[in-house]
Structure 1
């Protein structure tokens, strides 16, 4: 009976996690195919890494050699360290401009734009791509003009503007054929295949990718052939044609460089393991998924790690290794939260980019119309000197033109207002979807909690101690998901302004005791004691019970998360004049002044791993800050790294008559 209940529980957990992380077809190419991948140590990332490369560049006496070095390193590091590539690319643009090296000037624009795109800064990326397109036309550099069109099309794929992507691929195709650049032509065919795949024009997508494959066979571009086979495999995989998909993945594995393109190699292995799972050949699926997981950890790819863990957890469940399956599902939960936040941030950035582009286009149109009006005024002044007849004629013509221009301007304004309303409706639909998702997940999570409690009541009868540890791990995982959902729902409602502040008499001591109860099991696992102290006789405060319970829950969760084993968390309620001071103090990791400033301001609070590698969403403390402010108080923080953290705030007491 217990074994049956455990199987049901693992099945429900796998369903809940599986819905959060969907397998994605990642773009594997950028401006040009490059057979080298820079492996820079992690200590040389960001500004520090850029300073090292820039310092080395300064030691190169020849400015032209220095420029070529900067461009080369920018390209090599664009995938592994885009922040570093961005700094090097910006320096290369500046140096190429001073040297009047037009070819490398355009090339630096393309490479730096790719770095911006990989960082999610689509506005700066598209600006550099269009500037590079303009410069390549101005100085007649057709090869870079073709790649500029490809870059713009690739960016439009990221923001789901597939029609615009196709419009930019057409001139790229014409340029590649005109100058006889087969590598550009093959890359353009491949990018077009990706666009057609997104538009569900599958047969055309297959044809386009096969064109790219034939060209790369002709030119001997072996790594490029691997990419083509990979995309063909993805198409057949999505059509559930697993034999054809497996055949193409096998061909891709034979071509891919296992050392120079580890991400592509691991992605193909993962797809093959998923095909074996579909065929219930779990013996063959497991080693491929394990190899993909190892590479994913090596290259720090969250999506690879998440999807590989999902396959391995399915294998474990099928083979009866429930403890291993639970451990993999718990780890997958951590990556699922991060991937969800990342996808949400990318979607918001995409929407912001679209709005910004619309605003820029409208502003450009208005400026053009203003310039035309100014030109007309100048012409009218000139014709005034010719004579009354010409003046009258000119007034008639100019008046008509102005009327037409104003009518067009009004039409543009109406269009802009319509687009603004559509964006507002889109945001409303997004928020509504957010709330529906949260509410739909809440029911299964509460059912899981109830099922876990039922199993824990029988855990003393189980002969296997590992099963008891399994219950504790599942209880913590479900509690973490429950906390995230509650914070997510509160955050979504607060963004819509739908949270009503309803203060009333609240027993703060009773509320604190009730809020501690769900976290005792987690604290016991980490061997942390929770001590509630108060000498107050009257503990009634004027507060919104739901808001304050959310504040206490998040502060206690953070205290446990960042406390070390055998630590002590002290919660105290003390009277301060006419207020009750709620205080929670731990002896954990502590935080620096920069993080304290972020908590006290309206800035986004980044998520930080706990002492047990727990990962949060970064939403909780923001809610705490906002809810305490709604009560006319402020949240205070006292902390320093390694010396624990102390949070406290005041609530008005209700004095008994």
Structure 2
């Protein structure tokens, strides 16, 4: 029986691979494979209940993704029934996740959140970091959909960490796609654009062409909001066709809805109705509710364009009801603003005002600036009509502030340039008009002069010349002022470009010098290691003393190479601007003891003494890894330069609201000019220790950089022949 069950599971796995291939290709033969899989799953013995539950959950998610919501619902219930019967946390986690996905596709966000939280709890009990990725990801999506952006970004950060740790690149791409949507809700279009590009690059690297449609759809939305309607609509149409072929009805419905809204903005009512109606049919076929609210808003706007206000009111009410059920804040705001327009048409100003105030509160909370701007303007108009001028002025001011801060097209650099060029063209047209008017005036004057007697002809000509000269002088002065302004702007732009080029050149030279140092310093110990290992392999009859000397040399070379690699990795993180210190409370004496213990072998060989005078239970606050890095480098330098039988002291004091930790050695003092080199990002200094140990000059620079990044500092006091004391500060816990 056991052998038979194993053979069946192998066959089921083969069917599952074929089923997935057919689903991805849009081949209807997947239905036959699904029937074969379900038939074999039913025939498995009771010992395979865990396997059966996991496969039911997997199939439920696959079916829901491709629009078969009701069938996916049935499979998820079967998976949950098997899991609860087994009381197995692994099966429960997958079954709860499948149920959550079904509720998510149906727009039941509260139910979905409950199931994903249960799935996460089961995965945490198992300690399965891979299984935690799905619940974290879906909870992030739910929180951002509800407008709780802080919690949403927290869950996204957890998901990115787990995906990176476990190399789950498909999930990482999904995280980037949803992060782009969250950035879009905050109107951070550049961040959203970059997140979509990252998602596309990840999907390209793993060869997932079908999934590329989702970030492409988000890019199309961004292009639409940037005013590039033609380009965004081309994207939407391509995505619409591809997603219909792949039977991804949800994405097809979203794209069709976007195309319909594009035609609605252009006033092509029939085309708009065609695509919005197509989106409605696709949503009905897939069973997903998430776009129904937006579709009803689209139908309502079409009715408004056709002056069918009663029908528009019905659609707006239906869209509002669905949006509240799905916690779709954007659609709810649009529905309330649309209903307010209908009520104003009917003279129901009080009801309209109530809806607009509610819509403005929602728009402000969700950072929907365009909707907030529209609502404030309509509220101000209603208050003005009622004679409440103070309230009207208040909301007009709010409207102006939001418009100037977020919606004024002149805030965009390209639009500013375009506006400036337009202004110049308008000025040129005005000048031409003035010149034409001047010519007409001159002709009139000339015709009048011909009818006037001889003595008045000279006076009239003089006046005409004076007028024309004044106009020309004014125009010349104005033209010179505008030219000076343009030249000043060009000069400022050229200076910015020059500074950027100088900075890039400096950074490039700095990196070249760094890599030269690293390639030289890292090659030397590795060459030494190779040579000593050759000696070991050739000299078979080596004495124990000779062997010990070689082993000591191997340890020193290895230690140097590891130190160089640690510092190089730290510098790389610094250059990537991706270091995020994590604040914790820690006992600085214990950290110092830990670093001293790590260096105990070197201390013993060099006959040194470590005097740890840091008092007990001195709590500091900050990134403990930065404290370890600084103490490790300072103690390593002190050991490197101290003579035999010397003492190295570690002390603690408080001053200026900071903890000051010091490492003092009895060496010969630091080289002249070290302070200037320590403050520079373009120079390195490397000196040999008492036993000719080599350095690379990166350690102290990294210590100084990370301390400055966390608001602290590093300095030293040194006298030639007496020793050196290095100080650094930390926040007091």
Fold shared, TM-score > 0.5 on shorter chain = no
TM-score, length basis structure 1: 0.45
Higher helix share: 2
Task: Please say which structure displays the higher CA radius of gyration.
Answer: 2
Q: Provide the TM-score with structure 2 as the length reference.
A: 0.41
- The higher relative CO (CA closer than 8 Å, separation ≥ 6) is in 1
